[in-house]
Amino acid sequence: MTAYHFCFDLSHYGWWPQDFRSDPFWTLQRTAIVSLFLLCAGLGQAVAWQRSVGRARFARRWAQVAGCALLVTAGSWFMFPRSFIYFGVLHGMAVMLLVARATAGWRNAWLVLAGALALALPPLAAALLDGPLAPLAEAFNARGLNWLGFITRKPFTEDYVPVFPWLGVMWWGLALGKWLLARPLQPLARGVGRAGAPLVLLGRYSLSWYMLHQPVLIGGLLLWGALTR
């Protein structure tokens, strides 16, 4: 993610122009990064469910995610007033975490099935909105409803992670986590050794890293540009 955003920043400031909106080299990377985000969030909810994490602790963490989502909106509006982020990965995660919390007790088979349904709903909705439900298309494409993901036209925004289909990835992460935690050796409980310690630190403070890495990268690039003029 950090490398991806660094390349995006280089392109944004004209040092390495790239087409991040349509070039598959970049769009597929973005899909993989967001998928990993939400899969790991689902895994985390499986651990929380196994450890019976209480509502108060969940609410505190959820408030951090939601608050950071609002900060992303404010910061992106400052940089990209025409394409600011109003429902990006943190906004989507805030909604999906509530759903994951409410469904954590479901059987894994139901979680897998629900995940598959979540992935299938957007193309089905698009087909209906292009056909018999065409009069409703503009309503679902508008900002008030496009966060659901039932669209026929992708909105112009720097980051867009609607509830559907992405809730399906979080549900699959939840199912995978519950399955792994039920194994006798519990792979998720193993240590990672000294070599993996830096990754553990980043994982423990993943939200802080997410919020800080872009301001640091952008500030560094602007400083470099000023010094090399």
Q: Model confidence over 201-222: pLDDT tens digits?
A: 888 899 999 999 999 999 999 9
pLDDT for the residue numbered 191: 74
Q: What is the mean pLDDT of residues 109-120?
A: 98
pLDDT for the residue numbered 203: 84
Is residue 43 within 8 A of residue 174, CB to CB? The reply is yes
Q: How confident is the model at residue 189 (pLDDT cuts 50, 70, 90)?
A: low
In a domain, residue 228? The reply is no
Is residue 44 within 8 A of residue 177, CB to CB? The reply is yes
Number of domains within the chain: 1
pLDDT for the residue numbered 184: 75
In a domain, residue 229? The reply is no
Q: What is the mean pLDDT of residues 174-198?
A: 81
pLDDT for the residue numbered 198: 84
How many Å apart are CA 181 and CA 3, to the nearest integer? 31
Task: Residue 177: give the domain boundaries.
Answer: 2-222
In a domain, residue 106? The reply is yes
- pTM here is 0.93
pLDDT of 43 > 90? The answer is yes
Residue 20 CA neighbour count, 13 Å, CB half:
18
In a domain, residue 227? The reply is no
What is the average pLDDT score of the chain?
A: 94
In a domain, residue 29? The reply is yes
How many Å apart are CA 3 and CA 10, to the nearest integer? 11
